[in-house]
Amino acid sequence: MQKEPSTSIKSLLKTHFGYDTFRPNQEEIITTVLEGQDALAIMPTGGGKSLCFQLPALALEGTAIVISPLIALMKDQVDALNANGISAAFYNSTQPQEIQAKILEELVTGQLKLIYVAPESLWMLTNYLSKIKINLIAVDEAHCISSWGHDFRPAYTQLNRLKQEFPGTPIIALTATADRATQDDILEQLEVKEAKRFVSSFDRPNIYMDVRPGQNRINHIYKFLSSRGLQSGIIYCLSRKSTESIATKLRAKGYDAQAYHAGLSVEDRTQFQEDFINDRTPIIVATIAFGMGIDKSNVRWVIHYNMPKNIEGYYQEIGRGGRDGLKAQALMFYSYADVLMLRKFTEGTPTEEFQLAKLERMQQFSESLNCRRKALLSYFGENLAEDCGNCDICKNPPKYFDGTLIAQKVCSAVARMQEGEAIGTVIDVLRGAQNQAVLEKGYQAIKTYGAAKDISWKDLQQYIIQLLNQGILQIWFHEKGRLVLTPQAKQILFEGKTIRLANLVKDSTEEQKPKTTRSKSTRKDLFEKLRTLRSKLAATMGVPAYVIFSDASLQDMENKKPRTIEQFSEISGVGQAKLDTYAEAFLKVIAKHLDTTDSKITTHEKTYQLFKDGKTVADISAERGVAESTIFSHLVKMHRDGAAIDLHQFITSEEIKKVKAAKKVLENPDGLRMYFEHFEENMSYSKIKLGLYLPIKK
Ligand code: ADP
Ligand code: ZN
């Protein structure tokens, strides 16, 4: 396979996708694939996985196969590619035969750069695929191959044949599932153990995290929503019944909210989902099934009405917010009642114990006294050097004390027990307990036995949970919940690193002040105008709104207020295809906005400025999207106010005389239209205006 110089992938990034820079790891992944190597890309939702195979597909000769589990996802991606002027299609067994035939025809004649297919349908295409050049194979949502993973999909296991069937073709597996066991499993199953791994940070710094006790949640929600205008958001609930009742309550308060759950008909669900995606319904109140296959980038907030069942779920659900990289809010409520209900759900399931352990960890996260983001990321094995400053704990921190000594004792005990024990035994040993579990293993002989007997069992447990939330310890759920040390623990033990612990005397009556959010929801109305145009275009073209432009692109337009095609091409997300298709419509709205919102003076001054810059009246009219006669009015106004403009260049003395004569004949007519008719439409409105205004040149 040919090595591509990075300048050419940069230019593909700009011309096809409209972006100037790669996101973290994208360039490295793309280069790896272009070199013909297999790759595993682990990136959070919204991290930009698709580009990692779409761009190489364009850079290389031939067609890329993309294996994807959900039809909705395939359709969205294909729509987005087509909007960027890239030929792609998806194939599945539910399509009408004539559509399938057409796609296959395009495929074998090499017209498609990418073909999306579900794993179940892949092997039906073998005959066709053998006729063409396959440049790469992308396995999207690759965790579906692992029975460890949360979305196991049997047909994915058949993908182990890929490497044999297409030995020279690079395979790129992509997922947002972080845990190491699943990662290893993916590579093993796909038989690409040598694949290069790229693990991106799972941090989503634009999401503000806030966790509150569950009392009075509906009122908290009203308050939360009151400043959010028409922003899109999702409220997750545990039961169908509560989705309905919350949606009803919100509607009674005047919010446009729709309940969504598995009990609705397929048609309703499709409809509600589409209304949400296309910004017609701003609020969805849903059971967690909602959002699975949704690729909506401008979800501005996510509320958990109930505590999720594990941290993976929480992370995934809040991750549906802010995929465009703009600010988003995640608000979660938790209560003991939620915990009890979730426990019930696990009862009698084969993995009950495992699930309960994860549930407990979720509860610990909810009650965290340490930076939420640190806690969340440490759960995924990632260390955040500083507290994030963008969560409720950071905004409203508890009192801390120097917890280094306690941490050293705990870490040392864990180390001396060979990282083999779960939290309960660790506490017992530290407190010098005499029970069987301790004595049988001879733990009374280790140095830290009884080292923390001055701390109560409960408090010690709370401190250890803080160590978990700070990423100093981790729980290995797959291995009986044993505690293991992270690299930070080693720094505490051997390198003199100090840490803080939060005081446990937490005032539970302290009402959490509603946070004043920085992001003003009342947008300047240009954004709204752009949004309206986007919706209109989306409806006409039958695609989701974000396929036209993401919110991030609209925001960039709002900030830069482009006036020309060249300026428009600088907007993030504007590649050649979108420039050709949409620039004109969006420029018009922007120009009109500038004209109507600027005060009269400024708009005149702006025209004058452009005029002084040497632009012709026609140029200015085109650039500002207003009629030439209006531009003349601006110039006349500026002239009247004393600006040095030679207006005589636009009209001859002869013409001025004619206009003045007409005024006499028409006996002071009101309106220019009478002049226009008087001259039998042979004198432009602009000239009539000028003729009335200007003196006859001597
Ligand atoms: P994922 O599949 O990882 O959830 P996507 O591939 O859908 O994420 O990308 C999320 C968003 O980020 C999309 O709107 C995409 O166009 C945008 N994006 C991807 N790469 C870049 C980039 N290099 N610069 C700016 N935006 C990007
Ligand atoms: Zn924080």
**Segment 142-196, tens digit of pLDDT:** 988 887 666 778 888 889 999 999 999 999 999 987 677 788 889 999 999 899 9
In the chain, which residues fall in CATH 1.10.10.10? 400-502
Sequence-distant (6+) residues with CB within 8 A of 242 are 305, 306
Q: Which residues of the chain does CATH 3.40.50.300 include?
A: 9-199, 207-351
Buried b or exposed e, range 573-594, using 16+ CB within 10 angstroms:
bbbebbbeebbeebbebbbebb
CB 54 within 8 A of CB 13: no
Q: Note the ligand closest to the C-alpha atom of 296.
A: 1
680: left (phi over 0), alpha (psi -120 to 50) or beta: left
Position 506 scores a pLDDT of 43
Portions of the chain given CATH number 1.10.150.80: 523-597
- Given a cut of 70, the residues of the chain with pLDDT beneath it are 1-7, 148-150, 178, 291-293, 505-524, 597-602, 698
CA 452 remoteness from chain centre: 45
Q: Is the CB of 189 under 6 A from ligand 1?
A: no
- Ligand 1 centre from 84 Cα, in Å? 13
For ligand 1, is residue 553 a contact (CB within 6 Å)? no
Sequential DSSP letters for 184-250: HHHHHHHT-TTPEEEE-----TTEEEEEEESTTHHHHHHHHHTT-TT-EEEEEESSHHHHHHHHHHH
Sign for the pseudo-dihedral over CA of 229, 232, 233, 239? positive
Atom of ligand 1 lying closest to residue 550 CA: 14
Residue 137 phi, psi dihedral angles, 5° rounding: -125, 125
Q: Which of 6, 21, 51 to probe ligand 1 with, by most ligand atoms within 8 A of CB?
A: 51
Cα distance between residue 23 and residue 55, in whole Å: 13
Task: Dump pLDDT digits (tens) for 104-146.
Answer: 999 999 999 999 999 999 999 989 999 999 999 999 999 888 8
- Taking the C-alpha atoms of residue 115 and residue 89, their distance in angstroms, rounded to an integer, is 5
Residue-level pLDDT at 148: 62
Q: Would the CB of 68 count as within 6 Å of ligand 1?
A: no
The pLDDT assigned to 698 comes to 64
Q: In 305-446, which residue ranges form alpha helices assigned H by DSSP?
A: 311-318, 336-346, 352-366, 372-379, 392-395, 404-416, 423-430, 436-440
Q: Is the dihedral of CA 290, 291, 292, 293 positive or negative?
A: positive
CA 152 to chain centre: 24
Half-sphere exposure of 328 (CA within 13 A, CB side): 28
43 ligand 1 Cβ < 6 A: yes
The CA distance from 594 to 503, in Å, is 55
The pLDDT assigned to 149 comes to: 61
Q: Tokens 């426990």 — which residue?
A: 343
User: Which of 53, 323, 572 to probe ligand 1 with, by most ligand atoms within 8 A of CB?
Assistant: 323
Give the ligand at the shortest distance from the Cα of 54: 1
How far apart, in whole angstroms, are the C-alpha atoms of residue 288 and residue 344?
17
Query: In the prediction, which pLDDT does 155 show?
Result: 84
**Segment holding 566, helix H or strand E:** helix 565-569
CA distances, 366 to each of 210, 211, 421, 422 (Å): 9, 6, 24, 20
Q: 9-199 falls under which CATH superfamily? A: P-loop containing nucleotide triphosphate hydrolases (3.40.50.300)
CA distance 86 to 286: 34
Cα distance between residue 23 and residue 49, in whole Å = 10
Q: What is 523-597's CATH number?
A: 1.10.150.80
pLDDT, residue 518, reads 36
Domain 400-502: CATH architecture, name and number where available: Orthogonal Bundle (1.10)
User: What is this structure's pTM?
Assistant: 0.66
**609 CB-side CA count, 13 A:** 8
**Does ligand 1 lie within 6 Å of residue 47's CB atom?**
yes
Ramachandran region of residue 85, left (φ > 0), alpha (ψ -120 to 50) or beta?
left
- Strand-strand pairing, 63-67 and 39-42: unpaired
Angle at 222 between CA 220 and CA 224, to 5 degrees: 65
CA distance 401 to 241: 45
Sheet bearing 63-67, strands edge to edge: 88-91, 114-117, 63-67, 134-139, 171-175, 39-42, 196-199
Question: Could you tell me if 59 and 4 are in contact, meaning their C-beta atoms sit under 8 angstroms apart?
Answer: yes
Top-tier CATH class for 207-351: alpha beta
Q: Is residue 418 helix, strand or coil? A: coil
Q: Residues of 82-91 as b/e, b for ≥16 C-beta within 10 angstroms?
A: bbbebebbbb
Ligand 1 atom nearest residue 52's Cα: 6
- Strand 232-237 and strand 171-175: pairing? unpaired
Question: Distance between CA atoms of 360 and 309, rounded to whole angstroms?
Answer: 9
